[in-house]
Amino acid sequence: MNPKLKAAFTQMKPVCDKLMINPTPENIKDYLELINDLKREYLQDLQQYLLFPIISHLQSKEMEGRHEVQRFLLIAMKVILDKINVVSFELCIKIEMTLAVLAFDKNKPGMIAEIPEEMKLTAIQCMTSLMLNIETPLRLRLIKSHAPLLAQAIFVSVHMAKLEKFRILRLAALESLLAHTSMHSKLTDATCMITDPVLEEAVVQMLCCILPGVLATLQDVAMCPNNPGHAVIVMALNATHRIMCMTMNDKHLKTSSTVTVADIMKVIKEKESANYVSKAKTSQLPKLSKEWFEMAGEKLEAVMRSLVRLGAHEHYKVRKELSVLCYRVLSECNSTMQPSISMCLDILISLSSDSYTQVANYCSHARAQYFRNASPNSVLNAMDSLTRNLFMVLGSLPRILNNIDSARKLASLNLLEGYVELLSEGSSQRLTSILSSNEGYSKLCDSLASASAIQTDLALLNRHAARDVTATPPIDSPWCKFRHLDNKECITKFQRICLLLGETECGQLILDTLLDTFRERRDCELLFLMNLMASAPKSTDSLAKRVIDAYIEEDIWYLPLEVASEAPITDEETLDISVYNPRAWDKDNVPGLFEGATETRYTDISYLTPRTQMVPTGCRTLRQAQHNMVQCCLLTEGLGLMARRLGKDFQPYLLKTLCLVLERVGSRYEMLHLSGVKAINEIKSACGNTTVGELIAHNADYFTHQITRRLKKAWNTQSALEILSVVMEYSDSTILEYMYGIVEDVLLQSCDKYYQKNLYSYLQVFHTFVSCIYKWFPHKRTENEHTDTKDVLDDVLEYIKSEEEAQRAINESEKDGRSVEEMFNEDLERTENDALDYDDTVTKEKPPLPKHIEVTITILKRCINFVPAKNRDDAILTLQILTLGLPVIKDYEDELLPLVHQTWGPLVTRFEDTDTAVLRRALDVLVTLAMLSKDFIRHRTLKEVLPKLYKQLHTLSTESHLKDTGSSYRLSPPFHLQIAALTALAPLTTELRLSEDDLEEAMKCVSVYLSRKQPKPLQALAIQFFKTILSYNFGAAWLHLRGFCNNSNVIQPPNNKFIKLAEIIGTPYECDNKDYDKNVKAIFN
617-650 pLDDT tens trace: 578 888 999 999 999 999 999 999 999 999 999 9
Q: Where residue 879 falls among pLDDT bands split at 50, 70, 90? A: very high
Range among 44-48, 328-332, 808-812 rated most confident: 328-332
Asked whether residue 707 carries a pLDDT value surpassing 80, the answer given is: no
pLDDT at residue 41, as a whole number: 87
What is the rounded average pLDDT of the residues 716-732?
Answer: 77
Asked whether residue 803 carries a pLDDT value surpassing 80, the answer given is: no
pLDDT at residue 254, as a whole number: 76
Q: How many CA atoms lie within 13 A of 530 on its CB side?
A: 36
CB 703 within 8 A of CB 659: yes
Strand 1064-1065 to strand 1050-1051: parallel, antiparallel, or no bridges (unpaired)?
A: antiparallel
DSSP for 5-22, written as a single string? HHHHHHHHHHHHHHHHH-
124-173 pLDDT tens trace: 999 999 999 998 899 999 999 888 889 989 999 999 999 888 899 999 99
382-430 pLDDT tens trace: 888 888 888 889 999 999 998 888 888 888 999 999 889 888 876 567 8
Strand 481-482 to strand 454-455: parallel, antiparallel, or no bridges (unpaired)?
A: antiparallel
Residue 572's alpha-carbon distances to 569, 576, 583, 614, 715, in angstroms, are 8, 8, 14, 22, 19
pLDDT at residue 595, as a whole number: 45
Q: How many CA atoms lie within 13 A of 219 on its CB side?
A: 18
Which residues 6+ apart lie within 8 Å of 180 measured at CB? 127, 131, 150, 153, 154, 157
Asked whether residue 712 carries a pLDDT value surpassing 70, the answer given is: no
pLDDT at residue 427, as a whole number: 56
Asked whether residue 665 carries a pLDDT value surpassing 50, the answer given is: yes
CB 105 within 8 A of CB 114: yes
Range among 218-222, 777-781, 818-822, 1063-1067 rated most confident: 218-222
Sketch the domain layout of the chain as residue ranges.
Answer: 248-254+286-437, 956-1085
What is the rounded average pLDDT of the residues 192-201?
Answer: 91
Asked whether residue 805 carries a pLDDT value surpassing 80, the answer given is: no
Terminal CA-CA length for the chain: 106
752-792 pLDDT tens trace: 665 567 788 778 778 878 888 888 887 655 444 444 444 44
pLDDT at residue 815, as a whole number: 58
What is the rounded average pLDDT of the residues 604-627?
Answer: 63
Determine what percent of the chain is predicted with pLDDT higher than 90: 28
Asked whether residue 682 carries a pLDDT value surpassing 70, the answer given is: yes
- CA 360 distance to own-chain centroid: 26
CB 852 within 8 A of CB 881: no
pLDDT at residue 603, as a whole number: 44
Q: Where residue 567 falls among pLDDT bands split at 50, 70, 90? A: low
User: What average pLDDT is seen over the chain?
Assistant: 82
If one counts every other C-beta atom within 10 angstroms of the C-beta of residue 26, the result is 9
CB 95 within 8 A of CB 51: yes
Which residues 6+ apart lie within 8 Å of 667 measured at CB? 673, 676, 722
The H or E element spanning position 1064 is strand 1064-1065
Instruction: Tell which wins on pLDDT, 890 or 821.
Output: 890
List 86's β-bridge partners, or say none: 134
DSSP, res 714? T
833-859 pLDDT tens trace: 655 554 555 556 778 888 888 888 988
Which residues 6+ apart lie within 8 Å of 884 measured at CB? 767, 770, 771, 774
Instruction: Tell which wins on pLDDT, 825 or 496.
Output: 496
**Lowest mean pLDDT: which of 343-347, 445-449, 644-648, 868-872?**
868-872
What is the rounded average pLDDT of the residues 293-315?
Answer: 89
CB 1075 within 8 A of CB 1013: yes
DSSP for 458-478, written as a single string? GGGG-B-SS--TTSPPPSS-T
pLDDT at residue 547, as a whole number: 95
The three-class DSSP label of residue 112 is strand
